[in-house]
Amino acid sequence: MIKSATNQSQGMLLFQLTLNQSFAIGTLKVKEIVPYTPLTVIPHSHSTVLGAATLRGQTFPVIDMAKAVGYRALVNEEIKDCYIIITDCQRKLVGFMVRGINKITECNWHEIDAPPVSLGNNVFVTGVTTVEDNLVQLLDVELLMSKIFPEDPSSLNPVLTDIEREILRPLKILLVDDSSVARRQLSQALDSISVPYFISTNGQDALNMMKNAADNNDPFQILVSDIEMPGLDGYELAFDVKNTEKLKSVYIILHTSLSSEISVSQAHQVGADEALTKFEANELIHAMLRGAERHIVVA
């Protein structure tokens, strides 16, 4: 198996939402960066949606990112000097208008730190790092999009039979994601069908939990992990699990907000049994059922 990880290949796009603070998102989320382009008003849209842009035949909403995360909104006098970061995640093409683009830089994702208490309750920040002695805040794009484009509640609740539920209930399931919105979605999906689970916010803690459980003869059978995480990412976690003798029977489901065939291909290369673009509850639960069938056959 090839140990190919986003932590090794993904950079960070640095940009400005205010004059003094730098923000970033992983480059795998970025489809394109374009200068300001005229927008078409979208009636009854969220207050942070500036309008719709069309690029090469594709139309997508454009969001004032500064306003969306709680900073000063863009005004007409400055908007024509702004840039649009076009992202492709959660099966949705979305543009984020920002005050300025700094640069794309390499990043050691193992060195991303948790947000300091001094940042307050800015829930859109998942981590911080320094670039050229400047503090850079890593934004949680999934959480941001969930506030602006809320999911249909019915899409978060899977549908399955009583027999299928009872197949899942005895299994020891571990959910791993650094995004609070993703953890909420995963938890709600399993809570709605009364299937128990454990949860971790990062890959290293998840790996430690799995090793300890195996040492105590109470191993996990199913691992559901995000791919993009600071520290030990989902690719590396899957690789380490499959190359640890006492863990290699775990059924691994990796999921990602990136709408990319490359991400899915890499997931299989590092040993994942399945790879999903998040989030669709029924897809996730039926992937777990396939994992359950694997363990039943092995048993």
Task: Please report how the helices 180-191 and 141-148 are oriented relative to each other, as an axis angle in degrees rounded to 10.
Answer: 60
- Confirm whether 9-148 and 153-298 share one CATH topology: no
Threshold 0.75, pTM exceeds: no
Which residues, other chains included, contact 288 with Cβ-Cβ below 8 Å and sequence gap of 6+? 168, 171, 173, 222, 224, 251, 253
> No. of H helices and E strands in the chain?
10, 15
Homologous superfamily, domain 9-148 = CheA-289, Domain 4 (2.40.50.180)
Q: What is the pLDDT of residue 174?
A: 97
* pLDDT for residue 293: 87
Sheet with strand 251-256: strands edge to edge: 198-200, 173-176, 222-226, 251-256, 274-277
Task: Check residue 7 and give its pLDDT.
Answer: 44
Task: Return the exposure string of 204-239: e unless at least 16 CB atoms fall within 10 Å of the residue's CB, then b.
Answer: eebbebbbebbeeeebbbbbbbbbbbbbbbbbbbbb
Q: What pLDDT, on the 0 to 100 scale, is given for residue 97? A: 97
CATH for 153-298 is 3.40.50.2300
Quote the pLDDT of residue 269: 87
Domain ranges of the chain: 9-148, 153-298
**Three-class secondary structure of residue 26 per DSSP:** strand
First to last CA, the chain: 25
- pLDDT tens per residue across all 299 residues of the chain: 434 444 445 788 999 998 888 899 988 788 899 999 999 999 999 999 999 999 888 999 999 999 999 999 999 999 999 999 999 876 788 999 999 999 998 877 777 887 766 665 556 888 888 888 888 888 888 788 888 988 766 666 787 877 888 899 999 999 999 888 788 888 988 998 889 999 999 999 999 999 999 999 999 999 999 988 888 889 999 999 999 999 999 999 998 876 555 566 788 889 899 988 766 788 889 999 999 988 765 54
What integer pLDDT is reported at residue 38 of this predicted model? Answer: 92
Q: Residue 144's Cα: distance from chain center in Å? A: 11
